[in-house]
Structure 1
Amino acid sequence: MARKKQNSNLVGWAILGLLAFGIFQFGIMGNADRPAPSAAKPAAPRTATQASPASVPLDVPRFVNVASLNVRHAPSQAADLITALPRGTRLRVLDRQDGWLLVDLNPTLEGWVTERFTTTDGPAQYRPPAAVPGSR
């Protein structure tokens, strides 16, 4: 009587499990909070007119200055993600700690965002271009 091969199924399940663990642990695209090594740019030197982030009072409203800003449970890139905020979102800052800002998301939820991805300048208002004279 013929015997069934069971090793081939076991190897397939092991590979599938390792693949699933890798996707769960690192995500499909990796950690989006960390810039790619090739994208790292040297920081521009501060001029006398630029205020350091720590000198900006907490009661000054901040705005998201990147396409999508991750909000986390703790001031760490390793902390669990709460949500992501789109560019231009107004933030109410509650606290500052080591380059992170504690922001008020709603009456019952607070989260931490990276301070360098925020700005005190409000979002620019879109103005459509002026009409060309003589065009209809």
Structure 2
Amino acid sequence: MARKKQKSRLLGWVLLGLVALGVFQSGIFELGEKGRPKGSSGNAAQSVAATKPPAPLSAPRFVNVASLNVRHTPSPSGELIIALPRGTALRVLERQNGWLLVDLNPTLEGWVAEHLTTTQVPQQRYMPPAPVPASR
């Protein structure tokens, strides 16, 4: 019985080695700068975004998600005013800690998360045509 256990342990180590070799060959754990995996979303990606200057307030902004919540305060827990659909043009009045104060109409302003907006008009998502019903 002792030999059987040794063979099964050896087989386990061989399989583990083959899996590890396959992972490294496929490049999943290929190392990039500073010894971090290339695909990791560590501080390197955040530091690149942090060095990019923010768009000026006068630049037109557009909603870049399916539905963007507009809030009374610059906080995810702020009271919800309205949700705007993708592509809605926004006029920015102020920027504060990753939030934008936008003018909704002459009497209403609200805060939106800046990272959910863009300065370019978003492309419309492809909607496949509805299926044709079968005729009898």
TM-score normalised to the size of structure 2?
A: 0.54
Distance across 1 between alignment mates of 2:124 and 2:48:
28
Distance across 2 between alignment mates of 1:77 and 1:50:
21
Percent identity, aligned pairs only? 62
Distance across 2 between alignment mates of 1:68 and 1:56:
22
TM-score normalised to the size of structure 1?
A: 0.54
Amino acid at match of 1:79: G
Instruction: Quote the RMSD (CA, aligned, Å).
Output: 2.9
Distance across 1 between alignment mates of 2:121 and 2:59:
11
1:78–1:126 CA distance, 2 compared to 1 (3 A): closer
SS at match of 2:45: coil
Q: Which has the larger share of helix?
A: 2
Counterpart for residue 63 of structure 2: 64
Query: Does residue 78 of structure 1 match 2:85?
Result: no
Over residues 68-113 of structure 1, what are the superposed CA-to-partner deviations in whole Å (9 max), with x where a residue is unaligned? 0000000011110000000000000000000000000000000000
1:126–1:95 CA distance, 2 compared to 1 (3 A): same
- The 5 Å alignment of 1:7-86 reads 42=41, 45=45, 52=52, 55-86=54-85
1:109–1:124 CA distance, 2 compared to 1 (3 A): same
Residue 45 of structure 1 and its aligned partner are, at CA, apart by 2.1
Counterpart for residue 16 of structure 2: none
Q: Which runs of 5+ in 1 are unaligned?
A: 1-40, 128-136
Distance across 2 between alignment mates of 1:119 and 1:57:
12
SS at match of 1:45: helix
Distance across 1 between alignment mates of 2:92 and 2:58:
7
Counterpart for residue 111 of structure 1: 110
Q: How many residues are matched?
A: 86
Distance across 2 between alignment mates of 1:59 and 1:115:
14
Q: Which runs of 5+ in 2 are unaligned?
A: 1-39, 127-136
Residue 50 of structure 1 and its aligned partner are, at CA, apart by 9.7
1:45–1:84 CA distance, 2 compared to 1 (3 A): same
Residue 46 of structure 1 and its aligned partner are, at CA, apart by 6.5
Distance across 2 between alignment mates of 1:126 and 1:76:
29
Amino acid at match of 1:71: V
Structure with the greater alpha carbon radius of gyration: 2
SS at match of 2:115: helix
Residue 42 of structure 1 and its aligned partner are, at CA, apart by 3.6
